[in-house]
Amino acid sequence: MNTFFSFLKSRNWMLWALILGVATGLIFGERVAFLQPIGNGFVKLMQITIFPYIVVSLIVGLGKFSPEQVKSILLKAATVMISLWCIGLAAIWCFALTLPQHDAGTFFSPALISPAASIDFAEHYIPANPFASLAQGNVPAIVIFCIALGSSLIANKRKTTVLDFLEVIGQGLTVISKKIIAIFPVGIFAMTASTAGTLSGEQLNNLQVYWVLVLCLGLYLMLVLMPMIVAAFTPIKYRDLILVMRNAWITAFSTGNVFIVLPVITEGIKEHLRKTNQADEQADHIAEVLVPIAYTFPSLGKLTTLMFVMFAAWLTGSPVGISDIPNVTLSAMLSYFANVHIAIPFLLDSLKIPADSYQLYLSMSVLSAKVVSPTTVIYIFSFVFLSIFYCRKQLHLKRLRSVYYLALLSVCLPIFMFASYTLNTHLAGNSKAADDIIANMVIAETVPAHVLNHVPKAYHSGELSLTNIDIIQKRNLIRIGYLVDNVPFSYFNQKNELVGFDISLAHRLADDLQVEVEFIPFKKHQLSEYLNKGYFDIAMSGLEINVVDLTKVRFSDHVLKLQLALLAKDHQLQRFTHKSDITNLSSVQFAHVEYGPILNKVTKQYPNIHFSELNNLKQYFTDSNNFDALVISAEAGFAWSMFYPEFGVIVPQEGSIKYPVGFAIAKRNLDLLSYINSWLDIQKANGKVHDAYNYWILGLGGQKKDTRWSLIDTYTRQPTQ
C-alpha cells in the first residue's frame, strides 16, 4: 500500500485530475454539470497574469539582446517556423486525401447569403491604441507593440533600470502563475468531468467523419511529426520532450485554451534546459520572446482547422482538387494570421462552398478544440526548442537516432492516413445519405388528416366558395391546398406521409381550430381558379406573394422571406458566380415554376436571358439537359440538392433578390383572411414559425434530446417486467 501511495505522489496531478474527471463524467453523467462554472472560474484565474506576462516577457527578452543577436535569432526563428509550416501543411494535405466517397447534400443556412467576411489585418496587427488592444485582448497587436518597444530599448544605454524593474514584475507574475498551477488540477477535474458528463451522443455522431479526420491528423502531429523532428535534430530525447510538455498539454486539452498556458510553456522550456545542464541566459531570453510570438503567428494546431474547410467542400460535393491546393494554401496562411473564426468563413467563401459550413464548424468547435489546443502547445514547444538549438548551431543529423526518428515518422504517416481512411469509410457507409434524412422527416404534432390526390366532384358545384371560421368549425374540417413535390414546404416522405414546413403549420392551424384537416393538390397556374371556386379554403405551399396574383386572390401577411437562387449541376455553378457572368453570356436558358413577374422584368433588361415555365419542380430534374439552371429559392434548392446530390445551389453575387411567401385565400373570404393574419402573429410571437423554420428549412431540432447516458443510470435502472 505504501508503494502505491508513493507511486501516486510521484505522478503528475494534472494527469490524475484528467483521468478522474473523465471517469466521474462517465459514471454520473449530467449530474456533474454543476462543475462547469468551477472549471470556468479556474480558466479565468489562469488568465490573470497572461497579458502582463506577454508585455513583460517580450520587452525584457528583446531589450536584453544586442542588435546583432536579435537579427540572428529572429532570422533563424523565422526559418524554423517556415520549415514547420511547410512540413505541417504537407501532412495536412496528405490527410485530406483520406476522405471517402460521399453522397453530398445539406440543408440551407443563412450563412449562404451572408456577405463574405473581410479580414482587416490593420485592425488585428497595428496597435493604433496599445491600451485599447490590451483592454480588448487583441494579442497580435499587443505582441507587435511589445516587439517594437523591446526592440527600441536594445540600443538604449539607460535601459537597465527599466528592464530590471520589469524583470522583477515578471518574477512576481511567475510566482503567481506557479501558485495557480499548484491548485489547477481542481479546475482540470471540474472541466473534464462536466464535459464528459454532458457531451451527448448526438454531438459525437454529428460530423463524425471530420472528428476522426482531425483526431488522426492531430495525433500524428502531436505524437509523431513534431516531437520526432525535435528528437531527430536536437539533443532532446523523445521521452523527455513528452514529459516536459505534459502539464501544458493536459491543461490545453482540458480547457481548449492555449493562451492561459503560455507561462507554463515558457517555464517548462527553461526548467528542462536547467535540468539537462543546457540552460544559459540567451536560451531563457529566446524562450521568453518566441513563446508569445509563436502563439500570435499561425501554428500547426490552428492550421489543423484547415481540415474542416476540406471536409466542408467534400460534404457539399465539391471536394478541393489538386489544382486548388496552391490557392487554398496561400489564402490559409494569410487568413490564419487573423482569428480562426474570421479565417474559416473567408476560406469557405473563397472556395464557393454553398452550405451552412461555418455553423457546422461552430457546432464541433468544443470537440475540435480538444485537438487544436494541445497540438498548438506541442508546436510552440517544438518551435522554441528547435530555434534555441539552431541559434547554438546544435542542429544536426549525424546520429543514428536522427535517421531512426525521421524514418519512423515517414512510416507512421501512411499508417495514420490508412487508419483515418478506413474509419471514415466505415462511418460514411453507416451514416444516413442526405436524401434519407429529409425523406424521413415527420410532423411531430398532427390532427386527423385526409390527403387527397384530386379535387372531389362534390366540390365542383361552387357551394363552398364562401368560407369563414364559423363554417369551417361547423363542418369540422379545414381544406388546405398544397403543391405536390414542393420540397421542403409540401412533399411526401418515405412513409408516403404529406409533410413539410407549410403542412406542419396547417396541422397546427387545424389543431387551434379544433377541426380535422383535408389536403387537396393543385398546380401553380390553378391557384386562383381553385381558391375562388371554393375547392379549398387556404393554399399553403411556399407560395410567392407577387403583384400579378394580388389581383386574383388575397394573400396573408408574409410567413417567410426567401432568397432567390439558381440550382444547376455542380460543374455548371461557376458560370453563375457573379451577376455579370450571367449577363455577359450570349444566351442562357433558365427554367422556373414561379416568379413570373420578377423574371419578366429580367428578360426586358437582359434579352440574352430566357425563361421557360415548368408545371412542377420535379420536371426540371427529368429535363435538366435542356436548361442551364433552375430559378428557385435557396431554401428549396438546398432541399432538392439532398435528393439530387449532383446538383448544387448558388446565389450570384450582386444579384441577390428576396421575395415573400405566404398563404393564399379567395378574394371574398375576408373574415378568414383576418383570422389567418392574427393567427400568424400569434405563431410568430410564440416561436412556432421559428421552430418550423429551424426544422424544415435548416434541418435543426429534429430529434428529441435524450438524457445523457451514465454508468450510474445503467446500474440503477430497473429491468422492464
CA-to-CA dists, residue 152 to 60, 66, 67, 147, 431, angstroms: 11, 11, 10, 8, 59
Superfamily (CATH) of domain 439-558+661-697: Periplasmic binding protein-like II (3.40.190.10)
Could you tell me if 322 and 303 are in contact, meaning their C-beta atoms sit under 8 angstroms apart? no
Give me the half-sphere count of Cα atoms (radius 13 Å) on the Cβ side of residue 242: 10
Q: Using the 8-state DSSP alphabet, how is residue 300 labeled?
A: H
Superfamily classification of domain 563-659 = Periplasmic binding protein-like II (3.40.190.10)
Phi-psi category of residue 145: left, alpha or beta, with phi > 0 → left and psi -120 to 50 → alpha: alpha
Long-range Cβ contact pairs of 273-278 (< 8 A, separation 24 or more): 273/388, 276/235, 276/236, 276/240, 278/235
Q: What is the DSSP letter of 222?
A: I
User: What is the structure's pLDDT at 1?
Assistant: 39
Q: Which three cell numbers stand for residue 710?
A: 451514465
pLDDT at 366: 65
CA distances from 414 to 93, 118, 128, 212 (A): 13, 37, 47, 15
Give one DSSP letter per residue of 560-583, joined into a string.
EEEEEEEEEEGGGGGGGSBHHHHH
Per-residue pLDDT tens for 579-628?
A: 888 988 889 999 998 888 888 888 888 999 999 998 888 889 988 889 99
The predicted pLDDT at position 459 comes to 80
Report how far residue 628's alpha carbon sits from residue 262's, in angstroms, rounded to the nearest whole number.
Answer: 55
pLDDT, residue 6, reads 46
Whole-angstrom distance, CA of residue 272 vs CA of residue 236: 10
Q: Tell me, what's the pLDDT at 539? A: 95
Per-residue confidence (pLDDT) for residue 703, from 0 to 100:
47
| CA nearest neighbour of 442 among 389, 486, 491, 377 | 491
C-alpha 542, offset from chain centre:
29
Pairing of strands 629-633, 647-650: unpaired
State whether residue 514 is helix, strand or coil.
Answer: coil
pLDDT at 335: 65
Model confidence pLDDT, tens digit, residues 476-499: 999 999 998 898 999 998 888 999
Three-state DSSP at 213 gives helix
Size (the chain), residues: 721
* CA end-to-end distance (rounded Å), the chain: 45
* Burial of residue 642 (number of CB atoms within 10 Å: 0-12, 13-18, 19+): buried
Residue spans per domain, the chain: 11-65+121-199, 83-95+201-431, 439-558+661-697, 563-659
Report the distance separating Cα 437 and Cα 434, nearest Å. Answer: 5
pLDDT beneath 70, residues of the chain: 1-12, 14-15, 101-106, 108-121, 124, 139, 199-207, 316-318, 334-335, 337-339, 341-343, 345-346, 349-350, 352-367, 398, 428-437, 462-466, 701-710, 713-721
Question: What integer pLDDT is reported at residue 680 of this predicted model?
Answer: 96
* CB hemisphere CA count around 163 (13 angstroms): 21
